[in-house]
Amino acid sequence: MSVIVISGGRRLEGCVPVQGSKNSVLPILAASLLSGCVSVIHNCPDLSDVAASVAILEHLGCRIAREGDTITVDSSTLDRCDIPEHLMREMRSSAIFLGAVLARTGEARLSMPGGCELGPRPIDLHLSALRRLGAEIAEQGGGLRCSARSLQGCDISLTIPSVGATENAMLAACAARGRTAIYNAAREPEIVDLQRFLCACGAKVRGAGSDLVVIDGSVPLHSAEHRVIADRICAATWLAAGAAAGGEIEVEGVPREQLLPVTDLLAQAGCDVREESQRVTLISDGYLRAVPPVRTASYPGFPTDAHPPVMAALTKGTGTTVFVEMMFENRYRHTQELARMGADIRVEGRVAVVCGVPGLQGARLEAADLRGGAALVVAALAAEGESRIGGLHHLDRGYERLTETLRSLGADIVRV
């Protein structure tokens, strides 16, 4: 079983070009089913979740070629509409294939994506959006059977601006007759990227980035080429690492406004943050001061995925910071591991109270989920002595060449 070994306490210095966005590429790979033509997708990160999506596409009959960071999907050869349970389980966000397969074939059979490390992950909003569009969905024995003789455009009002439900509704609406309007849509940059890909295929989609997305469906689609946006959560993780370990780092490729909740917070915590349109530079002495309560929210609020690494950075320093997690129940499993490094964190339900300590000590640690794992890496970089981090399959879901990237910044980190 491989582990990451980090000797902490080294300053980080240098520039990181940020990888392609995991949360963009996954729905775009699913969306490549819609056209029945060839999609050339550039800047795909090398992640286990991407491999899982590719395995699903191959199972469905698509032909895939991968060269460097470009994945080419030929979905003209699609010949089935079922996704077996083992492929669904590989990836938490496999529910996105529901809307895509349904849109392409009028039918979809897949197992219910189960709960995940972050707690139950309901898809009720996805299902009710698809039902509004005319899909009949039977849920039996952990399986979903969806069919739609024809999908019909409609108004969909989401009770929560769910990212996945917005994406599923957009994909299915591309195959519906007439106009679909999604109210209270998620506004994340990844939704905008999905819209850009769909439009490149010829679809008529507008409004992404606002809370109203409008799709004029049943437009003929064609082959397309697309470049996936950079991953704002990876960028936030590198900034948190620089803030915690001390040093001067630059992240490149993410528009500065996408990082504002994180850069504002780190600036309030005492870091010197300089921003250009696609580049953020952060200078830190490695000791942060407490900031006002941090509450996660949908975009453009503070991203739940950046919560753990930023919390890890604030464990070393002065004062007390309150974190409130509004999205997922089990977001705090990394806090027990941070406590073993000497962090002072108390968790009560959705609230975590972090009292800054003068220093952290290296320890044997186990990642329990993707971003919690990133928090352990951030803390280990800032700690005195050696840390060994296991549970790397979680990190491999979201960070491409993690050890190489941090080593290029001067970290003492190896995977053994």
Q: How far apart are CA 51 and CA 44, in angstroms?
A: 10
Contact between 12 and ligand UD1 by CB under 6 A: the answer reads no
Nearer to ligand UD1, 9 or 398 (CB): 398
Closest listed residue to residue 110, CA positions, set 129, 90, 128, 125:
90
**Catalytic residue (choose from 116, 199, 271, 355):** 116
Among 19, 23, 35, 111, binds ligand UD1 (CB under 6 A): 23
Q: Which stretch binds ligand UD1 (CB under 6 A): 62-70, 77-85, 116-124, 384-392?
A: 116-124
Closest listed residue to residue 242, CA positions, set 344, 302, 313:
313
Contact between 26 and ligand UD1 by CB under 6 A: the answer reads yes
Nearer to ligand UD1, 194 or 273 (CB): 194
For 47-85, the three-class secondary structure string (H helix, E strand, C coil) is: CHHHHHHHHHHHHCCCEEEEECCEEEEEHHHCCCCEECH
Q: Which stretch binds ligand UD1 (CB under 6 A): 119-127, 254-262, 270-278, 287-295?
A: 119-127
Contact 104, 72 (CB under 8 A): no
Contact 224, 35 (CB under 8 A): yes
Q: Which stretch binds ligand UD1 (CB under 6 A): 72-80, 157-165, 193-201, 255-263?
A: 157-165
Contact between 164 and ligand UD1 by CB under 6 A: the answer reads yes
Q: Which residue is nearest to ligand UD1 (CB)?
A: 164
Question: To the nearest whole angstrom, how small is the minimum distance from the Cβ of residue 374 to ligand UD1?
Answer: 12
Contact between 263 and ligand UD1 by CB under 6 A: the answer reads no
Nearer to ligand UD1, 160 or 212 (CB): 160
Contact 410, 12 (CB under 8 A): yes
Question: Is 116 a residue of the active site?
Answer: yes
The residues facing 174 across adjacent strands are: none
Q: How far apart are CA 11 and CA 409, in angstroms?
A: 8
For the chain, give the number of residues.
416
Footprint of ligand UD1 on this chain (CB under 6 A)? 23, 26, 93, 121-126, 160, 162-165, 186, 190, 304-305, 327-328
